[in-house]
Amino acid sequence: MTPSDTDNPLLRLRVHEPPPFDAIRPEHVEPAIRELLADLEAALPEIEADVEPTWESLVEDNARRFEPLHLAWGAVGHLTGVRNSPELRAAHETVQPAVVQFFTRVGQSKPMYEAAVALRDGGRELDEGQRRVLDAAILGAELSGVALEGAAKERFNQIQSELAELATKFSNNVLDATKAWELILTDPTEVDGLPSSARDLASQSFREAKEQESTPENGPWRITLDGPSFVPFLQHATRRDLREQVYRAYVSRASEGGTDNTGAIDQILRLRDEKAKLLGFAHYAELSLARKMAGSVDEIRTLLEELRSKAWPAAVTDHEELQAFAKERGFTEEIRQWDAGFWAERLREHRYAITDEQLRPYFPLPKVLNGLFELAERLFDVKVLAADGEAPVWHKDVRFFRIVDAPTSAPRAAFYLDPYSRPAEKRGGAWMDDCLGRSKTLAGPGESIRLPIAYLVCNGTPPVGERPSLMTFREVETLFHEFGHGLQHMLTTVDTEGAAGINNVEWDAVELPSQFMENWCYHEPTLRGFSGHWDTDEPLPQELFDKLLAARTYRAGSDTLRQLYFGFTDLALHDGYLPSAERTPFDVQHEVAAKCTVLKPLPEDRFLCSFSHIFAGGYAAGYYSYKWAEVLSADAFGAFEEAGLDDEAAVQATGHRFRDTVLALGGSRHPMQVFEAFRGRGPSVEALLRHAGLTG
């Protein structure tokens, strides 16, 4: 090891501790990853020669060997999402092919695969969780091409590498296209209708981007395609021509010039189809479903169609009401895509006399966090404690928390929270990921278990000046959602890392705890606990709560149809379709839109070019999972409703049962068995339809 290598934090990682994010630099990435790869590549022949069909040899020993690379590459991948830069991107792209090649090689290791099969079939004593891990490892090897030989294997490996590079390219293009577009406004009439919070943010955005003076009252103002800027502009700006300009820019992101993802979409779809056929599947959707709860594409379509049949008439009514309302107020034209958000907000204000701006002051982030943590204590008997400074962070706004058992104060887990939008370096959306997983094998010296640590990442409205982040109610729901994911990762009681937390949970069940937590945002005692005026701590007025509750199902048909549109499009692109000049992916999109959108997309709509969930994330042929898991999550919340939401003892008892099944068991049992252990029966779609107001 050279002297400079001793200073490389990625080579000094301890597998039972979080990475030193304050010390990792782009220049550390390539030398560290190449050294870790070289060491493992050199050791691999010996590892394969020595592997035995025992749990210790196959699982535990290999976990210890491979974890330093997993941890280092995971830290690099995390930083590309939250602290992206040209230098980090270049370093990541330089070593990514070698990393993919190595893990493909491990996945295709016949000695390891044969040892796993022998262990599974050998009659040795294994618990249910171990058997699930073993089955997943065997399936993973088969889906990694372990049975392929010769030219087929070589082509498969090439596809794996190309797909990884294309996913990274796709994500970077979306980030760059979002970052590159801006609308600078200088005339106060151009921001007419924008609430004060949106003007404040637009003024702050201009100051930061241009390093020039701006005030919320007099501008200039900078509008971007980042959610906290884009959404309020479409909802409130009275200048229709500017709304149109912003909308068209948003739906055409990453579809032209140097950030054009059109070609990448074609390549990704072709390569996925070829990969599936090499493995003996009819199409990529069939390959994807090999790891999911759903048994077939037909089964998924049946569920989605059941929901669509309920949502379509409601969405048609939504649109007719919107058009009539706008006409009553002097709007003589047909509502277009850039009008829908604006008039929907006006109708919401009229019907429920409630706006996001009325609610924002009552949802300052610190107050919301306190209430969320109190809910976790009530339901799951754990305490969340601020631990800022106890772990290095990648940005000054990132916070660190620890979770302890409430009765005993025994440590359970920890998590980072990165709450605010940073469009120059952080990808959009919100997500949870694992930093460290619970593991007996990877425990530190003198410790019996390695405790889990999660990343919770949001893109909420940042603080402006001395004022804290004032959240929209949707941002509150998003925070609860990601915390739900985090709870499944952090409150697991499974000690085998391969089945602990979210590991080995079928993809279409993984949204259950996250969507379950969103329901508590509408539970009045809970909401009272996480709301209060940021300046006076005045409680949310009863009148506003009543209006918020009444507005919960507002445009539920339209919202449901939107998610179904994405899910049906994803399936249509992955179950046998191949791009051609005669039928492009955008043609497929518009075919689906004909039955899933009341207001049809523009001919030039290119939303697929920024559909990162399926082209750069893990949702390919799996976007339906949101609705599939929403059935489970709504029914799970139904258990609390049946127990009596006003009966604190019953709520706590039900919460403990949820903790001890859904959150604790992770991937150690099939998700349907876990759900039935909690609910006492299989899932029903009725609760979802009832919560969405679609039962009529």
Tens of pLDDT, residue by residue over 385-396, are 999 999 999 999
pLDDT tens digit string along 615-662?
998 899 999 999 999 999 999 999 999 999 999 999 999 999 999 999
Confidence class for position 5, pLDDT limits 50, 70, 90: low
Note the pLDDT tens digit of each residue in 196-243: 999 999 999 999 999 999 999 999 999 999 988 999 999 999 999 999
Give the strands of the sheet with 411-420, arranged side by side.
382-386, 399-405, 411-420, 453-460, 431-436
Query: What is the residue type of 243?
Result: R
Q: What is the pLDDT of residues 464-501, one digit of tens each?
A: 888 999 999 999 999 999 999 999 999 999 999 999 99
Pairing mode, strands 399-405 and 183-185: unpaired
Q: What is the rounded distance in angstroms from the CA atom of residue 420 to the CA atom of residue 469?
A: 8
Q: 142-156, pLDDT tens digit by residue?
A: 999 999 999 999 999
Under DSSP, is residue 196 helix (H, G, I), strand (E, B) or coil?
helix
Q: Which helix (H) or strand (E) holds 152?
A: helix 150-180
Q: 10 Å Cβ neighbour count for 467?
A: 13
Q: What is the pLDDT of residue 499?
A: 95
Residue 3, pLDDT score: 36
Q: How confident is the model at residue 382 (pLDDT cuts 50, 70, 90)?
A: very high
Tell me, which fold does domain 3-147 have in CATH?
Glutathione S-transferase Yfyf (Class Pi); Chain A, domain 2 (1.20.1050)
Sequence-ordered alpha helix ranges (H) in 542-659: 542-550, 556-574, 585-596, 612-615, 625-643, 648-658
Residue 29 CB neighbour total at 10 angstroms? 25
pLDDT at 407: 93
Of 523, 440, 441, whose CA–CA distance to 476 is shortest? 523
Spatial CB neighbours of 408, under 8 Å, sequence gap ≥ 6: none
The mean per-residue pLDDT over the stretch 318-340 comes to 97
Q: How far is CA 140 from CA 47, 146, 292, in A?
A: 19, 9, 13
Given a cut of 80, is residue 1 above it in pLDDT? Answer: no
What pLDDT score was predicted for residue 6? Answer: 67
Confidence check: pLDDT of 663 > 90: yes
Of 6 and 660, the structure prediction assigns the larger pLDDT to 660
- What are the residues facing 434 on neighbouring strands? 454
- Averaged pLDDT, 77-99: 96
pLDDT over 90 (residue 410) = yes
Assigned token pair, 236 = 């409130």
Region label for 472, one of left (φ > 0), alpha (ψ between -120 and 50) or beta (otherwise): beta
pLDDT at 319: 97
Task: Give me the sign of the Cα torsion angle 368, 374, 380, 386.
Answer: positive
Q: What percent of the chain has pLDDT over 70?
A: 99
Calculate helix-pair angle for 297-328, 625-643, nearest 10 degrees.
Answer: 80
pLDDT of residue 423: 86
pLDDT in tens, 19-40: 999 999 999 999 999 999 999 9
Mean pLDDT for the stretch of residues 101-106: 95
C-alpha 483: how far from chain center = 11
Domain ranges (residues) in the chain: 3-147, 181-252, 360-504
**pTM of the complete model beyond 0.85:** yes
Show the tokens assigned to 296: 């077939």
The residues carrying an active-site annotation are 482
pLDDT at 693 over 90: no
- Determine the pLDDT at residue 194: 96
Q: Tokens 């992770």 sit at which residue?
A: 666
CA–CA dist 375, 541 (Å, integer): 21
Tell me the C-alpha distance between 219 and 438, whole Å: 50
Chain-wide mean pLDDT for the chain? 95
Looking from the CA of 153 toward its CB, the CA atoms found within 13 Å total 15
Residues in the chain: 696
Query: What is the per-residue pLDDT across 254-268, written as a single tens digit (0 to 9) for each?
Result: 999 999 999 999 999
Residues 271-295: pLDDT tens digits?
999 999 999 999 999 999 999 999 8
pLDDT of 276 reads 98
CATH class of 360-504: alpha beta
Q: What is the pLDDT of residue 576?
A: 93
Residue 696 pLDDT: 59
Strand partners, 464: 467
Interval 339-360 mean pLDDT: 93
Arithmetic mean of pLDDT, 598-624: 95
State the pLDDT at residue 655: 98
